[in-house]
Amino acid sequence: MTRRVSSVELRVRYAETDRMGVVYHTNYLVWCEIGRTNHIRESGMTYREMEDAGVGLAVAEASVRYHAPARYDDLVRVETVLAEVASRTVTFDYTIVNAESGARLATARTLLVSIDRNHRVSALPAEMRARLEADAVREA
Amino acid sequence: MTRRVSSVELRVRYAETDRMGVVYHTNYLVWCEIGRTNHIRESGMTYREMEDAGVGLAVAEASVRYHAPARYDDLVRVETVLAEVASRTVTFDYTIVNAESGARLATARTLLVSIDRNHRVSALPAEMRARLEADAVREA
Amino acid sequence: MTRRVSSVELRVRYAETDRMGVVYHTNYLVWCEIGRTNHIRESGMTYREMEDAGVGLAVAEASVRYHAPARYDDLVRVETVLAEVASRTVTFDYTIVNAESGARLATARTLLVSIDRNHRVSALPAEMRARLEADAVREA
Amino acid sequence: MTRRVSSVELRVRYAETDRMGVVYHTNYLVWCEIGRTNHIRESGMTYREMEDAGVGLAVAEASVRYHAPARYDDLVRVETVLAEVASRTVTFDYTIVNAESGARLATARTLLVSIDRNHRVSALPAEMRARLEADAVREA
């Protein structure tokens, strides 16, 4: 059994650096959001469509380990894996690497909770869940 | 005739700096938003209440001149003046200074357009306009 | 034995919200940075002075749990505790609450690594460590 | 005589939206920075190389007009033109459009000042100026 790894690249913005000369640490979590958006898109729907249909995914937990700094103008790759889908939650794992050297920059995990238009926790609609699960688990 | 100058202070966040060692330039406009929010609050209503009542102020034009850099942990003061109120627009002027030395860091102007819940341009409700105008023009 | 809890308040910026109508999740970690900066200041030195002396604290791990959303214009309080000081690392815990209702919004932990001017991991200078430790542990 | 227009596309991040449901206004200036970085790269050097060589371009003036909002997940294109090069300043013009509909979202201008490693205003090195000027003015 393997899980699909989606990949998206981005170039580091000047705005994302801080006075230490490297990327400010919270921006890696913004990049995870880009990885997640891209991962969902590749599963055949978009997160915008999910929200338009009244289903939100709110970040309930986030954790990051920083291994090496990204710098201005670096080309960075975010690799995203859907780790787990439950009735009301979705967990993604991320590995952020320098796209040119392959060096690992950060690893992260986020747990998202499915909410309705009124921001109440609610079960993921079956079709969306099926799409994410089909995506998560693929036989080798 | 004088115009009321409102004043609000903030301390520069590490997140706001960039690899040049100074504050990244767009953050001064975020500080203007803080000045504007504070200015409206001091006129006796809050911008959040305006939005809850269905009236938004969308930035239509913004300009900034940068005079000297702000740095991490500096105490900064935003001085805001309501420059003009028309039926559908409000213009604010800002002066951003180092609160300790008094040095002028930036000057800015924003033109905001009044919009309704559907994001259509619409006249400012009379009561809100009156409140802002009363605030803008005070006899010396 | 008790640990000092430092407290700092801030008002939520419009810039910090997202289209879900609440604060975008990475901003809580920016607020933790404000709490940390404030906590160090209250221990009798400033983080800026530490950097000027060639000692940086780089975030090596960060984790957050989100309990309830903060909204635009909310007054928020960041409570910071120094959890642990080792030769090369410092760990802070944060609780972020709505300053008016007292509701708990988020809890977070960051592990910081002491680095030198060349961004190499290096032991915290004894005086700085002593200051932080004195601060961390106070007899009841 | 025509001026080269460089083009770069980006997808709107969730982080860039605000509670009005659209992109927060200062982010368009961040996108201008991306357009500028890309424009310089296409002229045969990179802005990172300029900084490594001790030459910075600090934003001294910025202005934006907002025509229509960008939304989450929109594909946006930044078109950048080098408007003027003088001994110590460089001016860029930007047009930001929705890449799918072609609708104009914002127009902007920034004036940048050449600074040395000590952040003092200084003339652009001849070679860099020549490269930018060659780029700016091309016979039709």
Residue C2: its pLDDT value, please? 72
- The answer to whether D62 contacts B30, with C-beta atoms less than 8 Å apart, is no
- The answer to whether A48 contacts D13, with C-beta atoms less than 8 Å apart, is no
pLDDT digits (tens, 9 = 90+) for A7-37: 999 999 999 999 999 999 999 999 999 999 9
Q: Which amino acid is at B2?
A: T
Tell me how far CA of residue B27 lies from CA of B93, D25, D76, in angstroms: 16, 11, 22
Per-run averaged pLDDT (10 residues), chain A, 140 residues:
88 98 98 98 96 98 98 98 96 98 98 97 95 66
Q: Are A99 and A87 in contact (CB under 8 A)?
A: no
Question: How distant is the Cα of A71 from the closest Cα of chain D, in angstroms?
Answer: 10
* Strand extents, DSSP E, D34-132: 56-66, 75-85, 89-98, 104-115
In the block, residue with structure tokens 């001149």: B65
Residue A47: its pLDDT value, please? 98
Residue D3: its pLDDT value, please? 87
pLDDT digits (tens, 9 = 90+) for B111-126: 999 999 999 999 999 9
- Judge whether B18 counts as a catalytic residue: yes
Residue C105: its pLDDT value, please? 98
Question: Could you tell me whether strands B75-85 and B5-11 are parallel, antiparallel, or unpaired per DSSP bridges?
Answer: antiparallel
Share of chain B above pLDDT 70, in %: 95
- Give the Cα separation of B11 and B31 in Å (integer): 11
- Give the Cα separation of D108 and D92 in Å (integer): 8
pLDDT digits (tens, 9 = 90+) for C10-49: 999 999 999 999 999 999 999 999 999 999 999 999 999 9
Residue D136: its pLDDT value, please? 56
Please tell me whether residue D81 adopts helix, strand or coil conformation.
strand
Whether the complex's predicted ipTM is more than 0.90 is answered with yes
Residue B103, C-beta contacts closer than 8 angstroms, at least 6 positions apart? B67, B68, B97
Question: How distant is the Cα of D119 from the closest Cα of chain B, in angstroms?
Answer: 9
- Give the Cα separation of C91 and C53 in Å (integer): 21
Per-run averaged pLDDT (10 residues), chain D, 140 residues:
89 98 98 98 96 98 98 98 96 98 98 97 95 66
Task: Please list every residue in chain D whose beta carbon sits closer than 8 Å to the beta carbon of residue B66.
Answer: 58-62
Residue B91: its pLDDT value, please? 98
Using only the alpha carbons of chain A, give its radius of gyration.
Answer: 16
Q: What is the pLDDT along chain C (140 residues), one digit of tens a residue?
A: 578 999 999 999 999 999 999 999 999 999 999 999 999 999 999 999 999 999 999 999 999 999 999 999 999 999 999 999 999 999 999 999 999 999 999 999 999 999 999 999 999 999 999 999 886 555 44
- Give the Cα separation of A122 and A124 in Å (integer): 6
Quick one: closest CA in C to A61, which residue? C65
Return the partners of chain D (3 or more C-beta pairs < 8 Å): A, B, C
Quick one: closest CA in B to D19, which residue? B51
pLDDT digits (tens, 9 = 90+) for B1-29: 578 999 999 999 999 999 999 999 999 99
Question: How distant is the Cα of A90 from the closest Cα of chain C, in angstroms?
Answer: 15
From C13, C34, C48, residue closest to B33, measured CB to CB? C13
Provide the annotated active-site residues of D: 18
Quick one: closest CA in A to B27, which residue? A15
From B25, B30, B58, residue closest to D59, measured CB to CB? B25
Token pair belonging to B90: 């409000």
- The answer to whether D33 contacts A15, with C-beta atoms less than 8 Å apart, is yes
Q: Which amino acid is at D99?
A: A
DSSP state of C117: T
State pTM to two decimals.
0.96
Neighbours of A42 (CB within 10 A): 15
Token pair belonging to D29: 């200036």
